[in-house]
């Protein structure tokens, strides 16, 4: 009986050693632990195949903008305006000279046009728009826009000697949308518009 048990034990060992080839052994996984994705808007890929998003963006691939809590305007630049009124007369028609150049200044209103958020003073006197020159208005304290998804009214005025100021042109436009990113320079107006502005801005989240 002892010899029988001994033979069975030896046979079992032989089967364990010689009964399986290398081809029968389970293979170790060769696929990566994650699949890399393309990070958008300047996002940086991470070791775990995710993205580290820059300020202002979120989502798995940094493809979603985060609405800023503030837009700070540090400069309003006027790049175009009409040198004459639509009827061909001078803006300062009260002057003795039949053609006098306008004295320009911008005014930024809230969306309803009822509250002045900024008035560019002093006006730039005797201005003339050649199409390539610019006129800068830099607020002593940067303008803070807290309702960032609202539209605002930005108009250019001619300063007259009387209390009434004349509107030369302007826009009612949003300063931020959810698809335009975060440009540090916002252009208001097209080449065909009579007035154009460029705003220098930065964002706060």
Cα Rg, the chain, nearest whole Å: 35
Whether 124 contacts 135, CB under 8 Å = yes
CB burial of residue 192 (10 Å; 0-12, 13-18, 19+): exposed
- Check if 32-66 and 67-204 are the same fold: no
pLDDT recorded at residue 92: 77
What does the domain layout of the chain look like in residue ranges? 32-66, 67-204
φ and ψ of 43, to 5 deg: -65, 155
CATH 1.20.1640.10 fits 67-204, yes or no: no
- Fold topology of 32-66: Laminin (2.10.25)
C-alpha span between 184 and 182 (Å, rounded): 6
Phi-psi group of 191: left, alpha or beta (phi > 0 → left; psi -120 to 50 → alpha; rest → beta)? alpha
pLDDT tens for each residue of the chain, 205 residues long: 445 444 444 445 444 444 444 444 444 444 468 998 999 999 999 999 999 999 999 999 999 999 999 999 999 999 999 999 999 888 876 555 556 789 999 999 999 999 999 999 999 999 999 989 999 999 999 999 999 999 999 999 999 876 678 999 999 999 999 999 999 999 999 999 999 999 999 999 9
pLDDT recorded at residue 131: 84
Quickly list H helices, the chain: 2-18
Quickly list H helices, 81-143: none
Tokens at 113, concatenated: 């046009």
C-alpha span between 100 and 70 (Å, rounded): 40
């Amino acid at each position: 009986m002892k010899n029988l048990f001994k033979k069975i034990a030896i046979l079992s060992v032989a089967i364990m050693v010689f009964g399986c080839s290398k081809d029968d052994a389970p293979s170790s996984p060769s696929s990566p632990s994650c699949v890399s994705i393309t990070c958008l808007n300047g996002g940086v890929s991470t070791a775990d195949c995710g993205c580290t998003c820059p300020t202002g963006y979120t989502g798995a691939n940094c493809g979603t903008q985060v609405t800023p809590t503030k837009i700070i305007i540090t400069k309003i630049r006027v790049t175009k305006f009409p040198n004459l009124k639509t009827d061909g007369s001078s803006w300062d028609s009260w002057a003795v000279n039949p053609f006098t150049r306008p004295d320009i200044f911008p005014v930024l209103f809230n969306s309803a046009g009822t509250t002045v958020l900024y008035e560019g003073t002093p006006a730039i006197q005797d201005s003339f728009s050649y199409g390539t020159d610019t006129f800068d208005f830099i607020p002593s304290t940067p303008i803070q826009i807290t309702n960032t998804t609202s539209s605002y009214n930005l108009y250019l005025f001619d300063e007259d000697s009387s209390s009434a100021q004349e509107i030369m042109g302007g826009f009612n436009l949003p300063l931020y949308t959810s698809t335009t990113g975060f440009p540090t320079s916002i252009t208001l107006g097209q080449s065909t518009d009579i007035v154009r502005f460029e705003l220098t801005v930065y964002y706060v989240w």
